[in-house]
Chains A and B, each alone.
Chain A
Amino acid sequence: MNRTSAPTAADGFTVHCESLAVGYGRHTIVDGINLRLHAGDLMVLIGANGSGKSTLLKTLAGVLPALSGSVSVLSRAPGATPKRAAYLPQHPESSHTLPLRSCDVVAMGRYAHLGLLRRQSAADRAAVSQAIERSGVGGFAQLPLRELSGGQQQRTHLAQVLAREADVLLLDEPTAGLDLNGKAALASIVAAERSRGVTVVLATHDLNDAASANSVLLLAQRVVAVGPPAQALTDDNVRECFGFTQPH
């Protein structure tokens, strides 16, 4: 299977939101989100727990419906292009009880391409082994998930996302549980993906993760600031972002 070259969306944007409101059911968590991302962009979503980062990522992934406004990923509705957009959920639940080896979990990243019944091709296997190597999973690829540390599980799930060879990566707290080596490895993976033209949207509460971003979006159940890190990450904005009190 050939890799698609750098994605070219009809409107030139890989991720496009206009006046987007996200939330659960009738409960809006953040509204007025405007995003215009190009191929190769890294947007970092910054905020405390409950600020709306994960809700926005789930909306971009197509897991949650948009409450109002418009949103498109690769010029399609979110979730409509599973082969070209990959989503890393936060703390995948119950995974530690599953009888799955790390390499099996990585191989699941190809399911979007394989559908229900198609057998793995040589290209699929190559994508999986490459993802295993890049994420540093090789040393424990044959171990079951339940025997892995939190950081090793996180690397496994990251490798699964990479195995999809998508054009848009939606990563919810990918550095959670990673040590310094793991964080450095993730940063270089993100850089390599961007140089291939992949758009990365990454949620974090660690300001260090935003250093190399084109743009950051500071969230506190509303949009606090959006723009290049140098402009958006002012002391006032950061204080406002993390100093908010839960209104509910």
Chain B
Amino acid sequence: MTWAANPFVDPFAANEFMRHALLGSVLVALVCAVTGTYVVLRGLSFVGDALAHGVVPGIATALLLGASGVLGAAVGAAVMMGAVSLISRKSRLSSDTSIGLAFVGMLALGVIITSRSRSFVGNITQIMFGELLGVSVSALWWQFAALVAVGSAAFVAHRPFVLMSIDDGLARTSGFSVTFFHSLMLGLVGVTVVASFQSVGSLLVLGMLVAPAASGALVARRVSTMMLVAAVYGTLASYLGLLASYHYDLAAGGSIVLVSVVLFGLTALAARLFGRPDNPEVPHQHEHRH
């Protein structure tokens, strides 16, 4: 491997596929910053995980039938959301258990579907881990459309989303339908996952959804700041991850997600070391609460 004159810029200046990869992963970072903020505030990480895995059989079926992977992912996500809300409504088990079962069931279905075709092994790897270095221009446009759609929906639904992150009853008594806005939030997670799987893969999208937003929650005092921090962290992770991927020949999607998880770890550490409550009534950080 020969080092370029400027190892931080040249990989992108010299290669179109690297520019497309950077654009694709930054679009993932931005859409995930918006959705991930609400996912983290509402504690829906597990639902995001379930959706991310639930799209696998949908994509696999679509590719088997020669249809669009995005369409298959959308169907898979819709089935998964239906299953999650049905199980958690009808079952006496906690939502976590229901979602976990729906999640593993969908993944098993994905594996079974792929086992029907010998030539499928390459595709299933792409589904789960992305093909960032081969992302197409049309995929970038789809991602951009998803970002606009998710951003607009979040702008409109921001107030009920924030109320729901404190208490569902608070949203209900403020005149907002919790059923509707909860479904909308799940829909945004679904769109985000579907729009992102081609770049970072369905298994890794959860890292982009949760890690930057969780970092934002550690340092921000306002929801808008949290979202901004998430966008900056995600963009930084995209750049650093791609750079590492290029120079050291690492998997691109994995590198990006690993960088954002490491950034979260460093932020958590810094918050613990340097964060101080400037509130005289709370002498200790670990206050006993009921």
Interface 1/0s, chain A 70-101, versus B by CB < 8 A? 00000000010011011101011111111111
Interface residues as binary, A206-238 with B (CB distance below 8 Å gives 1, 0 otherwise): 000000000000000000000000000000000
Verify B157–A96 contact, CB threshold 8 A: no
Q: Is there an interface contact between A89 and B170, defined as CB atoms closer than 8 Å?
A: yes
Write the B145-180 contact mask toward A (1 if CB under 8 angstroms, else 0): 000000000001101101101111110111110000
Distance between Cα atoms of A86 and B163 in the complex (Å): 13
Cβ of A8 under 8 Å from chain B: no
B156 touches A98 (CB 8 A): no
Contact of A150 with B279 in the complex, beta carbons under 8 Å: no
Q: A93, A99, A111: which has the most chain B beta carbons within 10 Å?
A: A99
Instruction: Give A91's nearest chain B residue, CB to CB.
Output: B290
CB atoms of A111 and B287 under 8 A apart: no
The smallest C-beta distance from A116 to any residue of chain B, in angstroms, reads 6
* A225 and B156 alpha carbons, distance in the complex (Å): 47
Would A58 and B169 count as touching, CB distance under 8 A? yes
B127 within 8 A of A: no
A62 within 8 A of B: yes
**Which of A82, A86, A117, A148 meets B156, CB within 8 Å?**
A117
Chain B interface, number of residues (Cβ within 8 angstroms): 35
> A61 contacts B173, CB within 8 Å?
yes
Pick from B115-123, B186-194, B218-226 the stretch touching chain A: B218-226
B47 to chain A, nearest CB (A): 15
**Chain A residues whose C-beta falls within 8 Å of the C-beta of B282 in the assembled complex:** 147-149, 152
| Contact partners of A247 in chain B: CB under 8 A | none
Q: Decide: A79 and B277 in contact? CB cutoff 8 A.
A: no
Quick check: is A143 within 8 A (CB to CB) of the other chain?
A: yes
Pick from B43, B163, B282, B290 the residue with the most CB of A within 10 Å: B282
- Shortest C-beta distance, A91 to chain B (Å), equals 7
A95–B278 CB distance below 8 A: no
Residues of A contacting B170 in the complex (Cβ-Cβ under 8 angstroms): 87, 89, 92, 108
A104 within 8 A of B: yes
Known: A61-B172, A91-B290, A143-B279. A99 touches B223 (CB 8 A): yes
Enumerate chain A interface residues (CB-CB to B < 8 A).
58, 61-63, 79, 82-83, 85-87, 89, 91-101, 104-105, 108, 111-112, 114-117, 140, 143-144, 147-152
Q: Can you name 19 A-B pairs with beta carbons within 8 Å?
A: A87-B169, A89-B170, A92-B170, A93-B166, A94-B43, A94-B166, A95-B167, A97-B217, A99-B217, A99-B223, A99-B225, A101-B221, A108-B159, A108-B166, A108-B174, A115-B159, A116-B156, A147-B278, A149-B287
**B interface residues (Cβ-Cβ under 8 A, vs A):** 41, 43, 156-157, 159-160, 162-163, 165-170, 172-176, 216-217, 220-223, 225-226, 277-279, 281-282, 287, 289-290
9 A-B pairs with least C-beta separation? A82-B175, A99-B220, A63-B169, A87-B173, A112-B174, A144-B221, A147-B277, A92-B167, A99-B226
